[in-house]
Structure 1
Amino acid sequence: MEHDPMLLDRAYGCLVATAIGDAMGMPASFMSPSQIRRIYGRITDFLTPDQEQTAHGAVEAGGITDDTQESLIVSSVLIEAGRFDQALFAAKMKQWAVQYKMLDSTVIGPSTRKFLETLLSGGDYVEAGKHGDTNGAAMRVGPIGIFDHGNVAHAIEDAVLSALPSHGSRAGVASACAVAAAIARAVEGGCTPREVMDAALQGAETGEHRGFDKPSPSIAARIRLAIDVVDQERNKPLQEVCERLYAYIGAGMKSYESVPLSLGVFYAVSGQVNEGIIAVVNIGDDADTNGAIVGSLCGAYSGASAIHPAWIAKVEGTNGIPFKQIAADLLRVRRAERI
């Protein structure tokens, strides 16, 4: 049986737009909006990192970072196991860390670094991951949303499993659940941007009861703040709306900045993928991860057919990754699991 072409388009859009947002945001990572304007003007395409880009200076234009790489690992776990298998995920992450010498790199966040260090030393990674509160779990859950499309509750449960090894704090788990739930709703189709946001809130509220109680702002409360900001600023230019989101929430790697901001940008652009990616990467700070998250959300909502074809060609050609086939495999495995 063939996949519904629109379902496949949205699943493919989620995966490939994750990579596009990652690669487009990469040159702006950890820069301020004014620094981006001074160096690049306005980012609207893939760029070679400027010499002031210290985290990703060696990556070529259109190249992906750990954000996309980790989402591909999650995809492979789901496809091979037919479910989210935490032990298989840990084994694949360990292999990735060794093969690409990730602990010698400057690209991974602090929570993922601690997870990989614990894996390589043979320690208890779930115990070590209890304090992880950055956005690494949220950036990689797109494949879970695809796999569990149409079943927000299942997406939330798989997101919990995927977050606990590395980002097990209340905020880390809640942010992963918010993104996975939103994507599960968006990929299924037939919904409004506000309904996607409502799914994100459901995920955040559930996840906040499942993570380790480390002090942090509420992910759900900040998603509501993002919704309120966008609703109040609807009649203003998109850049002004994004500046207001940035002023209230921030755009850093902490999950309680990155994820509510990214969901707010998704809501501000009504899920339109090209506009969403450009808007968020020009905010800066953790621009590659925020680009990946907004890409995954908007790509899941708008589909690959809405993405600039040149962007897809560039990111697939540069990185040699068959995103459409991976999307089809995630849908195929999910169908087999349902049967």
Structure 2
Amino acid sequence: MSGQLLARAAASLHGLALGDAFGSQFFVPANRPALSARRLPPGPWQWTDDTEMACSVYRVLADRGGVDQDELASGFATRHDFDRGYGPATNRMLRLVREGGDWRALAAELFDGQGSWGNGAAMRVAPLGAWFAGDVAEAARQAALSALVTHTHPEAVAGAVAVAVAVAVTAAEPALPAGLFLDRVAEHVPPGMVRDGIAEARRLLTIGDPGLAARMLGNGRQVAAHDTVPFTLWVAARHRHDYESALWTTAVAGGDVDTTCAIVGGIVAADAATRLPEEWRARCEPLPEWAGAPPLAAP
């Protein structure tokens, strides 16, 4: 397997995990004043289910070169740590998969047969987008396969596709202007609320206030793909070359901060020129050994 693919996907995974761990700190009441002052909360920072699931995505890519849905479902279930902050529906589903349940049936029957339209498929997909950066259409196809393991609602699938394509475009065309970046992503996202939100994010690019952008686009408070992904793409479009600015901008908008920061971190870190801040990395919990992700190169 190409070392370049591994390194590119691992860089995005590290960016995702750091964003996840950073964002998760602001659910701790004592750390909230640090957010308004843009002061780093004390370490150690622990990552959440976002990173745990993203590591399983990375592991399947490294082992198979693409999404093997059965293997991905098994990885999610086997490595599922209840204390990482999973939602109740996902906790139940992964427990049943461990007990021998069919992930296809379990995912499809969620929410009275509508399937989940949550942001879980989008939050974990960044390494996949980096892996397939040389073929954006394939990144979109593989992202859909990865989403369907747990999220069968079309909006959840669209959210995963949008994030994967955003990562692929960031890795392959880092110099694209913000508007063209969002246009390139929207080309691969099926019609629906996620794509409508990306179009609205495109119109809001001249707005500099993340709070206002979040009020217009959503900040993940509803834990839904259409309420999460457009805002994260708005941030990424405006701050793709500055990891710290991107993450602070995401966090100050509130909402599902660990997930929004994980998504933005995974996108921005896909640019080969991006360097994750050393002070932040020193506070962050390392990736699990089973993920097998190579460490980041020294700055």
TM-score (norm 2): 0.84
- Point out where structure 1 has 5 or more consecutive residues left out of the alignment: 49-59, 209-216, 330-339
- Report the CA distance shift for 1:260/1:281 in structure 2 as closer, same or farther (over 3 A): same
2:37 is the counterpart of 1:42: yes
SS of corresponding position for 2:129:
helix
Which residue does 2:182 correspond to in 1?
197
- Report the CA distance shift for 1:128/1:22 in structure 2 as closer, same or farther (over 3 A): same
Percent pairwise identity: 26
SS of corresponding position for 2:293:
helix
Structure 1 contact 94–119 (Cα < 8 Å) conserved = yes
Structure 1 contact 10–299 (Cα < 8 Å) conserved = no
- Point out where structure 2 has 5 or more consecutive residues left out of the alignment: 109-114
What amino acid does structure 1 have at the position aligned with 2:286? N
Total equivalences in the alignment: 287
| Deviation for aligned residue 1:263 | 0.5
Which residue does 2:112 correspond to in 1?
none
| Deviation for aligned residue 1:121 | 4.4
CA distance in 1, matches of 2:291, 2:189: 29
| Deviation for aligned residue 1:9 | 7.4
Matching residue within 191, 201, 223 for 1:226: 201
| Deviation for aligned residue 1:75 | 0.5
1:183-332, aligned counterparts within 5 Å? 183-192=167-176, 193-205=178-190, 218-231=193-206, 233=207, 238=208, 240=209, 242-251=210-219, 252=221, 253-301=223-271, 303-305=273-275, 307-315=276-284, 318-319=285-286, 326=293
| Deviation for aligned residue 1:124 | 3.3
| Deviation for aligned residue 1:10 | 5.7
Structure 2 contact 60–71 (Cα < 8 Å) conserved = yes
| Deviation for aligned residue 1:244 | 1.3
Q: Deviations over 1:8-58 (max 9, x none)?
A: 876554222111110111022498xxx97557533442x25xxxxxxxxxx
SS of corresponding position for 2:66:
coil
Which residue does 2:148 correspond to in 1?
164
Which structure features the higher share of helix residues?
1
Matching residue within 97, 105, 109 for 1:127: 105
- Report the CA distance shift for 1:300/1:126 in structure 2 as closer, same or farther (over 3 A): same
- Report the CA distance shift for 1:227/1:287 in structure 2 as closer, same or farther (over 3 A): same
Structure 1 contact 174–219 (Cα < 8 Å) conserved = yes
Matching residue within 92, 109, 125 for 1:141: 125
| Deviation for aligned residue 1:184 | 1.2
2:62 is the counterpart of 1:93: no
CA distance in 2, matches of 1:62, 1:158: 31
- Report the CA distance shift for 1:115/1:200 in structure 2 as closer, same or farther (over 3 A): farther
Q: Deviations over 1:154-198 (max 9, x none)?
A: 101111110112111011000000001111121124541434322
CA distance in 1, matches of 2:205, 2:166: 17
| Deviation for aligned residue 1:288 | 0.2
CA distance in 1, matches of 2:186, 2:204: 16
- Report the CA distance shift for 1:11/1:95 in structure 2 as closer, same or farther (over 3 A): closer
Q: Deviations over 1:58-113 (max 9, x none)?
A: xx63211111111111110111122210011111111112xx3x2xx371124533
SS of corresponding position for 1:301:
coil
Matching residue within 69, 73, 88 for 2:56: 73
CA distance in 2, matches of 1:201, 1:221: 9
- Report the CA distance shift for 1:160/1:19 in structure 2 as closer, same or farther (over 3 A): same
What amino acid does structure 2 have at the position aligned with 1:250? G
- Report the CA distance shift for 1:247/1:302 in structure 2 as closer, same or farther (over 3 A): farther
CA distance in 2, matches of 1:126, 1:42: 46
CA distance in 1, matches of 2:280, 2:255: 22
What amino acid does structure 1 have at the position aligned with 2:238? A
- Report the CA distance shift for 1:222/1:39 in structure 2 as closer, same or farther (over 3 A): same
Structure 1 contact 139–293 (Cα < 8 Å) conserved = yes
